[in-house]
């Protein structure tokens, strides 16, 4: 372990010479941080509404789980008919075949076990629990990687900064793929790095990449990060053949690159697709055709509406800076500042930590994840959730930066009071890293449960984001916040029709949860639903303004009876048809 400025004497002890009890304690700390992350997500999601797409994943996940349970209990076998009926079909979105099944299956199994069988969790919480646990796994893996590479303080800070990422906490609480995709992306990075140690069977990296592929298609970008890193690291360790011919040097370099850690490449190339295949029954029959359909769906994906810097975007070319600016406004400012410091440390120390080049790997991981969004043609509608794998890199860099800044300051103080050097080091880390974590925690507390409307202090919070013309929200989750107001309008008997707008897919679940009386009935879609309704809600996004106007025309008033705001920014309006 290299000596770093500001390190205390105790911290300079090589890892191999530290007491075993210390290792156990560190493992416990990692486990505790992972548990905290999971608990934070589970507690937070209780107030988060049901996302439009989430309903689809829940329903299909339940079907997938039933199919697997039926297969294991020998209720049915494997037939093309049963697989197609559960996982596929002729249409592009039949049985949600456009998304691989891993997380959906886990959602379904969780609901089946925890809600339907054991009754220890509510329906929605049970569906969402696997994603929350995956977030805990991410925190644990980040902690483990940083602990090994940079030290205990950095590991704890990195883990805490991952816990306190407002948008990530929000996404991790949904039965969706984006947060788990981030976890499995990072898990692949983690396994790849460890696989470079020359082990004989680096199977983990291939299997984890397969799990990532079985979660979301964005994992297809991972080889760009891993491939670039592999080439660079292998090139660095190529033999230097002084005096050899140019051809001999080139040949030796090619041999060195191919032979560097070839088993890692084989693991990725073989076990990755194989894992995807095993986990996705839809690929068991006509796999080439079905993989082609899967990828074609995403390469030809419709461009949903997305508000960015005052303009509604729904067709390319998109601004090249969407990922950059959105990340700048949706990660706590102190975390970003510390990450800038950490990046500086990595650049300054790039020659001192050659083996494996983990900083480069993390940077390439972030670049591969966000890179496509700089081209101007990749759909941007999902915003930060589509490039979430940049977040572990940012948080790790932030941890390195915060601890470096603390130790550097403590080192300076120690020259004035050498006797207190040890205490100064710990105190500095506590104060400086602690303040960075505190800022992130406060942002997270402010953001929830409407984190899609939240922007960081640099943007000016939710109202600042609205002033800047940043996206207000998506997926209709905010409807959860007006259900109590709607319930107050419900008749004791009979029915009252409600134009539920983007909450329509979730309406039945809200009723099962008891959040909406059954006397409030979903009126249906668009003008017909509005004309049938006595109550109407509009979830505010710029391109949804048209729903306000349809309601005005039908109800004869522009006046809502209730407007739900977060940070003063309107997110849902409720209208009541005036009495004639």
Partner 1 sequence: MCTLSPRPSPIAVAPALLLVVISLWEVCAARRDAASAPGDAAWHAAGERVRAGYRPGDLIVFAPAWIDPVGRKELGDLIPLAVAARMDAARYGRIWEVAIRGARSPDTAGLEPVQAEDHDGVSVRRYERAPAIVVSDVLERLPAATADGARPALELAEVGFAPHRCLQISPAPGTPLRITFPQLPLGKELVGYVGIADVFSRRDVRSPSRLDVELAGEIIASATAGVDDGWVRFAAVTPPGAADVTFVVRATDANRRICFAAEARQ
**Two tokens at 544?**
């949804």
Q: Which residues ranging from 246 to 305 are in contact with partner 1 (CB under 8 A)?
A: 303, 305
Which residue, among 161, 173, 186, 168, has the nearest Cα to 42 in the 3D structure?
173
Nearest approach, Cβ of residue 513 and partner 1 (Å) = 26
Let me know: does 273 contact 280? Beta carbons within 8 Å: no
Q: Under the criterion CB under 8 A, does residue 411 sit at the interface with partner 1?
A: yes
The binding track of 75-94 with respect to partner 1, each residue x by CB under 8 A or -, is: --------------------
Q: Order of strands, edge to edge, in the sheet holding 569-576?
A: 520-522, 496-499, 535-539, 569-576, 562-566
Interface region with partner 1, contact rule CB under 8 A, candidates 221-229, 230-238, 429-437, 529-537: 429-437
Interface region with partner 1, contact rule CB under 8 A, candidates 77-85, 172-180, 224-232, 563-571: 563-571
Nearest approach, Cβ of residue 163 and partner 1 (Å) = 16
Nearest approach, Cβ of residue 42 and partner 1 (Å) = 23
Between the alpha carbon of residue 175 and those of residues 62, 390, 417, 479, the distances in Å are 12, 21, 53, 17
CB proximity list for 78: less than 8 A, separation 6 or greater = 71, 281, 284
Nearest approach, Cβ of residue 404 and partner 1 (Å) = 8
Nearer to partner 1, 494 or 568 (CB): 568
- Per DSSP, 17 falls in state G
Q: Under the criterion CB under 8 A, does residue 422 sit at the interface with partner 1?
A: no
Nearest approach, Cβ of residue 153 and partner 1 (Å) = 14
Nearer to partner 1, 34 or 498 (CB): 498
Nearer to partner 1, 266 or 348 (CB): 348
Nearer to partner 1, 321 or 542 (CB): 542
Nearest approach, Cβ of residue 450 and partner 1 (Å) = 11
State how far the Cα of 186 lies from the Cα of 361, in Å rounded to an integer: 11
**For partner 1, which residue of 12, 311, 512, 518 counts as binding (CB under 8 A)?**
311
Burial class (CB within 10 angstroms; exposed 0-12, middle 13-18, buried 19+) of 448: buried
State how far the Cα of 40 lies from the Cα of 508, in Å rounded to an integer: 27
**For partner 1, which residue of 332, 476, 517, 529 counts as binding (CB under 8 A)?**
332
Nearer to partner 1, 178 or 443 (CB): 443
**For partner 1, which residue of 92, 231, 348, 484 counts as binding (CB under 8 A)?**
348
Nearest approach, Cβ of residue 436 and partner 1 (Å) = 5
Let me know: does 268 contact 205? Beta carbons within 8 Å: yes
Nearest approach, Cβ of residue 566 and partner 1 (Å) = 8
Interface region with partner 1, contact rule CB under 8 A, candidates 202-210, 334-342, 380-388, 474-482: 334-342
Q: Is 307 helix (H, G, I), strand (E, B) or coil?
A: strand
Q: Is 125 helix (H, G, I), strand (E, B) or coil?
A: helix
State how far the Cα of 535 lies from the Cα of 546, in Å rounded to an integer: 17
Interface region with partner 1, contact rule CB under 8 A, candidates 100-108, 236-244, 269-277, 406-414: 406-414
Q: Under the criterion CB under 8 A, does residue 408 sit at the interface with partner 1?
A: yes
State how far the Cα of 156 lies from the Cα of 149, in Å rounded to an integer: 13
**Two tokens at 267?**
């693991």
State how far the Cα of 103 lies from the Cα of 64, in Å rounded to an integer: 10
Strands 311-313 and 306-308: antiparallel
Interface region with partner 1, contact rule CB under 8 A, candidates 46-54, 231-239, 322-330, 432-440: 432-440
State how far the Cα of 561 lies from the Cα of 566, in Å rounded to an integer: 17
Q: Under the criterion CB under 8 A, does residue 508 sit at the interface with partner 1?
A: no
Q: For 111, left (φ over 0), alpha (ψ -120 to 50), or beta?
A: alpha
Chain centroid to Cα 339, Å, comes to: 18
Q: Which residues ranging from 438 to 497 are in contact with partner 1 (CB under 8 A)?
A: 438-439, 442-443, 446, 456-457, 460-464, 466-467, 472
Nearer to partner 1, 207 or 413 (CB): 413
Q: For 286, left (φ over 0), alpha (ψ -120 to 50), or beta?
A: left
Nearest approach, Cβ of residue 84 and partner 1 (Å) = 31
Burial class (CB within 10 angstroms; exposed 0-12, middle 13-18, buried 19+) of 27: middle
Which residue, among 143, 174, 153, 157, has the nearest Cα to 53 in the 3D structure?
174
Q: Under the criterion CB under 8 A, does residue 361 sit at the interface with partner 1?
A: no
**73: how many CB neighbours lie within 10 A of its CB?**
8
Which residue, among 479, 451, 436, has the nearest Cα to 384 in the 3D structure?
451
Interface region with partner 1, contact rule CB under 8 A, candidates 93-101, 127-135, 487-495, 551-559: 551-559
Q: Is 7 helix (H, G, I), strand (E, B) or coil?
A: coil
Q: Under the criterion CB under 8 A, does residue 549 sit at the interface with partner 1?
A: yes
Q: Under the criterion CB under 8 A, does residue 350 sit at the interface with partner 1?
A: no
**363: how many CB neighbours lie within 10 A of its CB?**
20
Nearer to partner 1, 100 or 411 (CB): 411
Interface region with partner 1, contact rule CB under 8 A, candidates 52-60, 205-213, 276-284, 568-576: 568-576
Chain centroid to Cα 104, Å, comes to: 15
**For partner 1, which residue of 62, 279, 341, 452 counts as binding (CB under 8 A)?**
341
List of residues contacting partner 1 (CB under 8 A): 5-6, 303, 305, 311-312, 314-315, 332-334, 337-338, 341, 348, 401-402, 404-406, 408-409, 411-413, 415, 428, 431-432, 435-436, 438-439, 442-443, 446, 456-457, 460-464, 466-467, 472, 540, 542-543, 545-546, 548-549, 552-553, 556-563, 565, 567-570, 573
């Amino acid at each position: 372990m290299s000596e770093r400025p500001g390190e205390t004497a105790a911290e300079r002890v090589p890892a191999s010479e530290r007491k075993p009890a210390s290792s156990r304690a560190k493992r416990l700390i990692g486990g505790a941080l992972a548990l905290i992350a999971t608990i934070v997500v589970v507690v937070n999601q209780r107030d988060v509404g049901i996302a439009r797409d989430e309903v689809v994943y829940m329903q299909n996940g339940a079907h997938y789980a039933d199919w697997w349970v039926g297969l294991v209990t020998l209720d049915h076998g494997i037939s093309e008919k049963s697989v197609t009926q559960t996982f596929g079909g002729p249409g592009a979105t039949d049985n949600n075949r456009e998304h691989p099944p891993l997380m959906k299956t886990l959602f379904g199994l969780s609901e089946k076990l925890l809600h339907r069988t054991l009754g220890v969790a509510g329906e929605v919480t049970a569906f969402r629990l696997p994603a929350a646990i995956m977030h805990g796994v991410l925190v644990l893996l980040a902690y483990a990687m940083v602990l090994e590479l940079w030290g205990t303080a950095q590991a704890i800070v990195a883990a805490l900064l991952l816990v306190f990422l407002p948008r990530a906490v929000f996404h991790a609480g949904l039965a969706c793929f984006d947060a788990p995709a981030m976890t499995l992306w990072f898990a692949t990075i983690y396994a790849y790095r460890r696989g470079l140690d020359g082990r004989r069977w680096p199977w983990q990296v291939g299997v984890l990449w397969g799990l990532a592929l079985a979660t979301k298609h964005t994992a297809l970008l991972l080889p760009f990060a891993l491939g670039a890193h592999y080439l660079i690291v292998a090139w660095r360790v190529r033999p230097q053949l002084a005096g050899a011919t140019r051809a001999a040097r080139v040949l030796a370099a090619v041999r060195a690159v191919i032979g560097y850690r070839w088993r890692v490449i084989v693991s990725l190339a073989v076990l990755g697709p194989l894992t995807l295949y095993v986990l996705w029954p839809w690929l068991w029959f006509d796999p080439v055709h079905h993989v082609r359909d899967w990828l074609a769906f995403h390469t030809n994906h419709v461009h949903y509406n997305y508000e960015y810097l005052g303009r509604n975007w729904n067709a390319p070319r998109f601004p090249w800076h969407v990922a950059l600016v959105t990340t700048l406004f949706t990660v706590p400012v102190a975390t970003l500042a510390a990450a800038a410091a950490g990046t500086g440390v990595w650049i300054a120390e790039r020659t001192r930590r050659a083996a494996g080049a983990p900083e480069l790997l993390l940077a390439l991981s972030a670049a591969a994840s966000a890179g496509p969004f700089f081209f101007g043609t990749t759909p941007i509608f999902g915003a930060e959730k589509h490039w979430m794998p940049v977040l572990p890199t940012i948080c790790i860099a932030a941890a390195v930066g915060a601890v470096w800044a603390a130790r550097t300051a403590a080192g300076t103080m120690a020259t004035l009071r050498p006797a207190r050097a040890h205490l100064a080091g710990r105190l500095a880390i506590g104060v400086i890293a602690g303040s960075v974590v505190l800022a992130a925690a406060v942002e997270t507390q402010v953001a929830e449960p409407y984190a899609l409307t939240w922007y960081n202090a640099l943007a000016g919070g939710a109202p600042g984001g609205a002033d800047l013309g940043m996206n207000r929200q998506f997926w209709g989750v905010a409807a959860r916040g007006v259900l109590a107001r709607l319930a107050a309008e419900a008749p004791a008997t009979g029915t009252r029709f409600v134009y539920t707008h983007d909450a329509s897919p979730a309406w039945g679940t809200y009723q099962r949860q008891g959040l909406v009386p059954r006397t409030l009935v979903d009126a249906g879609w668009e003008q017909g639903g509005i004309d049938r309704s006595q109550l109407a809600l509009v979830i505010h996004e710029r391109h949804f303004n048209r729903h306000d106007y349809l309601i005005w025309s039908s109800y004869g008033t522009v006046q809502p009876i209730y407007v739900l705001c977060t940070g003063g920014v309107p997110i849902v309006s409720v209208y009541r048809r005036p009495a004639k």
